[in-house]
Structure 1
Amino acid sequence: MVQPILVKRFVISPILSPVHTPSRDDAVLHALVDFVTSEGLRPGDRLPTERVLAEHLKVSRTTVREALTRWQELGLVERRQGSGTYLKAAVTRNMLHLPLTLPSGNDFNSLMHTLEIRRGLEAEAAVLSAERASDADIAFIEQKLVKMEDAFHARHGMSADEDWDFHLAVFRTSGNPLFEQIIAAMYEMFHRFWEHPLGVQDFGHASFPYHRTLFNAIAARDPIGARAEALKLIATVEDDLKRGAANLKKQNKKSQE
């Protein structure tokens, strides 16, 4: 027997009132921000359909679609084929939209540039998380860690999504929402590290134990230790990049002989 699919029914609050302004693009974005805030939506929650939003805002679906496209380009929402649009980062009316020009290659230099940014963000977020995380935050990070460890063992190191969720939990519990927003905008760029870059099939495996030691330092409220473990984790990724680059260099040299 096919089980019915339960779809969340949104009761649209009065905050989604018709838009009457010459600058409809910005007005729609402001109305969407107000809706997300009033409904208490968090990253991972699904937004109403374009049709529902358009009806209540009294604008065309094209206008709504363009507004959501702007959010998608900023890394604020994710569109999943056949499923809907999901919030990826917290949004507020006073947030600034900062366009980023990010390296898109899988070559050594592009990946190293990404890793250097990641090193700074993760080390500082680890420090703040150790200083600010509540008991509930610690439990939340541990939950993500256990899921990542289980996936790593069950799928022979293929734990990209769970790994991302663990790091996102650390950023979220840092107490600074800008960390989470910046990381969400860099989602695609960071995920290249789980795609066997530079031909390294076991890429990232060496970093696995440092997720646990990083958590232990945060749970112990040890900011210095948390920074050290975060840097060790990133160092293993850098070693993998250098190993991959060296192997490719050898392969190219052989092919030219």
Structure 2
Amino acid sequence: MSHSEVTRPTLSDALTERMLDLIRQGGHRPGDRLPSTRELSQRFAVTTPTLREALRRLEATGAIEMRHGSGIYVGAAIERVVLPNPNVRQIHGEQLLDLLDARILIEPPLAARAALNKRGAELRTLLDRAAQYLQGRDTELAEVNLDFHRSVARAAGNGVLAEVVDSLLTVHASEQREILRLFDDRRRDYEEHLAILEAIVDGDPQSAGELMKAHLLDVKTVIEQRM
């Protein structure tokens, strides 16, 4: 088999690109409805099964969303640069520590940048919600806590790095909930988040970065002791 044969785009590849062109050139935004499968098959002059293969590929990356009985819609991830791997399942042991190490390397500088931008309104709203969930169910509190970390990353102003953090948290959401269960100190977790927020609001990048690093190291230490 020649190199050209290996790299030659398939019909599904070509259809995927044409679908993306249709979305972009049509000015479609996430949530917009797209033509039906029948209309798209006629437009691209392909059979419905061939089209569905391309649509499944786009759906797997979040570029489109196929709603049963409703139609095809532009997905929320259409403009993402970094995507979480939907095939990853649970991780354990060293991988869990690697996950925390990655966050320790990435998130403190983002917290410092967020402080330079002094963008804390969304963060305060999330912590107000977290305060309400301190006596509630783990699932609700875990999701708000993860959203706090996502929001700090967004507040840093670098969209790609925000997507990296979101991908880490999204793919390993079950592990993040396990981290919360093992850490098992809701009040301390909340107060550390609150201290990070105050440093960001005060425009103190050094404190924001140091507090975020200390917070994640604190969590990692507890996890290592429990493993």
* TM-score normalised over the length of structure 2: 0.71
CA 1:54–1:230 in 2, change beyond 3 Å: closer, same or farther?
A: farther
**Deviation (angstroms), 1:128:** 1.1
Say yes or no: does 1:143 pair with 2:128.
no
Letter in 1 for 2:145: D
Aligned mates of 2:221, 2:56 — CA distance in 1: 43
Instruction: Say which is worse superposed, 168-177 or 102-111, in terms of deviation.
Output: 102-111
- Name 2:175's counterpart in structure 1: 192
The 5-angstrom pairing of residues 78-227 of structure 1 reads 87-89=75-77, 91=79, 95=81, 105-133=90-118, 137-155=119-137, 159-186=141-168, 187-195=170-178, 200=182, 202=184, 206-227=188-209
Query: Alignment length, in residue pairs?
Result: 207
Gaps of 5+ in 2: 1-12
The 5-angstrom pairing of residues 40-79 of structure 1 reads 41=30, 46=31, 48=33, 52=36, 55=39, 58-59=43-44, 60=48, 62=52, 63-69=54-60, 71-72=61-62
- Name 2:10's counterpart in structure 1: none
**Deviation (angstroms), 1:102:** 9.7
Q: State the structure with bigger RCO (CA 8 A, min sep 6), 1 or 2.
A: 2
**Deviation (angstroms), 1:32:** 3.2
Gaps of 5+ in 1: 1-21, 246-257
CA 1:205–1:138 in 2, change beyond 3 Å: closer, same or farther?
A: closer
**Deviation (angstroms), 1:40:** 5.0
Aligned mates of 1:202, 1:64 — CA distance in 2: 42
- Name 1:3's counterpart in structure 2: none
Higher normalized helix content (fraction of residues): 2
Instruction: Say which is worse superposed, 180-189 or 163-172, in terms of deviation.
Output: 180-189
Instruction: Say which is worse superposed, 23-32 or 150-159, in terms of deviation.
Output: 150-159
Aligned mates of 1:108, 1:192 — CA distance in 2: 11
Letter in 1 for 2:218: T
Give the secondary structure class of the aligned counterpart of 1:153: coil
Question: Which string of whole-angstrom CA distances, capped at 9 and with x for unpartnered residues, describes residues 40-81 of structure 1?
Answer: 54xxxx4537x6477368354513232222x14xxx678899
Instruction: Say which is worse superposed, 81-90 or 144-153, in terms of deviation.
Output: 81-90
* TM-score normalised over the length of structure 1: 0.64
